[in-house]
Amino acid sequence: MPIKIGSLTVKGRVYVPPMAGVTDLVFRSIVRKVDRGCMLATEMVSSRGLMYKPECRIMDLADDEHPIGIQIFGHEPEIMAKAAIMAEQRGADFVDINMGCPVPKITNGKDGCALMREPDLAKEIIVAIKGAVSIPVTVKFRLGWDESSKNCVQFGEMIEDAGASAVTVHGRTRAQRYTGTADWTMIKEVKKALSIAVFGNGDVFEPEDAQKLLEVTGCDGVAVARGTLGNPWLIPRITKYLDEGILDDPPDSTDRLILAVEHCLGLIRYKGVRVGTSESRRHLINYTKGIHKSAPYRNRLTQVSSARDLVEVLRELVEQEAGSDGKRRFDNAIGSYDLDKIHEAQTVGIDPGHVKEAVAV
C-alpha cells in the first residue's frame, strides 16, 4: 500500500535512511540501479554549515533519485528553517530533521539526539521549518536518551502535533549507540500513538527481518541502513518478499564485484582520485565480505591508488572465485569504462547539471 507523507505519496515501503559517509550521490545511484522504488535520503548536513557553504555537495541530487529527502541537523530554529528552505530549493521531496544522532560531537552541541531531552526546543524547530517550506517535514529519532528516559511515545506525539508528516524511529536509545538489539516493541508503541506514517528502523539485515519488523510494529514502512552496506540488493529483495512473498537469492560474487567496481569508479569520478579511492576501500570491505579467500585481496585493496589498480585487484578476485566465466562477465561489464579518463577525473563542479555526468560511469 502506498505511504502518505503529507503531500508526498511513496509507492514502496522500504526506505534507505541517512548514513553519514555512506549515502552520498554515488551510493544512492547504485541503490537506484538495483531498486527503482525505495525512498532515499542524503547524509545529514549541518544547518549552520550551510549558512557558510550553501553550495554544499551533500545536497547534490540527481534527477532519477526521487523520492528523496535531505536530512539536516542543528538546534537553532531560525537557522534550521533557512537550511530547510535550501533543501527544498535543491529539489528534495521532503526535509528530514535529525533528532537521533548519538555521536557526542553532535549531541554536545544540543543537536541530534540531544533534542530528545529538549522537547520544547525540538517542537520550535519543527514548527519553524514547517512554516518555512511547502515540502513535507519528517523527523528521525531514537527510543530516548538512555534506558531511564525512553520518551519516544510522547516525543512522537509532540512531533505530530508540531506538524511533521512522518517519523523514522530507530529502536535503540542514544546510550546504546549500535549495541544490543533494536527494541521493535517500543517502536510499536510509537506507531500506535501516531496517525502520521511511521518507519520502523533497526537491525534489518534480511528480507524476513523486514517482514517481522512490520508485523511486530504495525509500521507503515521499514528503514534499512547497515544492511545495505555492500549489499544494495537487499532493498529489492525486501520489496519482492513483502509484495509477493518471494525470497530471491542474493546475487553471486561476480555480480557483487561488478557493482562494487561501478560504485568505486563512481566515487573516483565524483570525488576525484584521492578521496574516491580512499572512500572506495571502506565500501569494498563490505562488498567482499563473505567471499571465500578474499582477505589477501582486501589487503591489497587498502593499497590501491588508481582506478586501474582497483579494477585489476577485483578482476583477479573474480577469476579466483568464478573462473574464466566470471572473468568474462566482469570484463564485459567493466570493459566500456575509460579508466584513464576516470583516473584523471578531478572533483566535478557543484553545478547539479554535472551530477548525472559524474555518476554515470
Ligand X SMILES: Cc1cc2nc3c(=O)[nH]c(=O)nc-3n(C[C@H](O)[C@H](O)[C@H](O)COP(=O)(O)O)c2cc1C
DSSP per-residue letters across 305-341: -SHHHHHHHHHHHHHHHHHHHHHHHHHHHHTTS-HHH
List the grid coordinates of 237.
529483495
SS3 readout for 136-161: CEEEEEEEECCCCCCCHHHHHHHHHH
Q: Which of 38, 101, 219, 264 is catalytic?
A: 101
Query: Going by DSSP bridges, is the β-strand pair 3-5/8-10 parallel, antiparallel, or unpaired?
Result: antiparallel
Using the rule CB under 6 A, is 111 a contact of ligand X?
no
Task: Please tell me the count of residues contacting ligand X according to CB under 6 A.
Answer: 22
Distance of alpha carbon 87 from alpha carbon 105, whole angstroms: 23
Q: Between residues 146 and 319, which has the closer beta carbon with respect to ligand X?
A: 146
Contact 142, 117 (CB under 8 A): no
Q: Between residues 113 and 273, which has the closer beta carbon with respect to ligand X?
A: 113
> Which secondary-structure segment (H or E) carries 200?
strand 197-201
14-33 residues in contact with ligand X (CB under 6 A) are 17-22
155-94-166-206 Cα dihedral, nearest 10 degrees: -110
Cell match 532515499: residue?
A: 40
Stretch that binds ligand X, among 46-54, 94-102, 128-136, 349-357 (CB under 6 A): 94-102
272-311 residues in contact with ligand X (CB under 6 A) are none
Q: Is 100 exposed, middle or buried (0-12, 13-18, 19+ CB in 10 A)?
A: buried
List the grid coordinates of 276.
574516491
Query: Going by DSSP bridges, is the β-strand pair 14-16/3-5 parallel, antiparallel, or unpaired?
Result: unpaired
Which residues, 6+ apart, have CB-to-CB distance to 255 below 8 Å?
A: none
User: Pick from 126, 139, 187, 224: which binds ligand X (CB under 6 A)?
Assistant: 224
Q: Between residues 250 and 296, which has the closer beta carbon with respect to ligand X?
A: 250
For the CB of residue 136, give the shortest distance to ligand X in the complex, in Å: 16
Q: Between residues 29 and 98, which has the closer beta carbon with respect to ligand X?
A: 98
One symbol per residue from 61 to 90: x for binding ligand X (CB under 6 A), - otherwise; what is it? Answer: ----------x-------------------
Using the rule CB under 6 A, is 232 a contact of ligand X?
no
Query: Going by DSSP bridges, is the β-strand pair 221-223/197-201 parallel, antiparallel, or unpaired?
Result: parallel
Using the rule CB under 6 A, is 227 a contact of ligand X?
yes
Instruction: Output phi, psi for 71, to 5 deg.
Output: -100, 130
User: Pick from 98, 138, 165, 288: which binds ligand X (CB under 6 A)?
Assistant: 98
Q: Between residues 226 and 315, which has the closer beta carbon with respect to ligand X?
A: 226
164-223 residues in contact with ligand X (CB under 6 A) are 170, 201-204
For the CB of residue 138, give the shortest distance to ligand X in the complex, in Å: 11
For the CB of residue 123, give the shortest distance to ligand X in the complex, in Å: 19
For the CB of residue 223, give the shortest distance to ligand X in the complex, in Å: 6
Q: Between residues 250 and 323, which has the closer beta carbon with respect to ligand X?
A: 250
38 is catalytic: no
Which positions touch ligand X (CB under 6 A)? 17-22, 43-44, 71, 98, 100-101, 140, 170, 201-204, 224-227
Kindly list the catalytic residues: 101
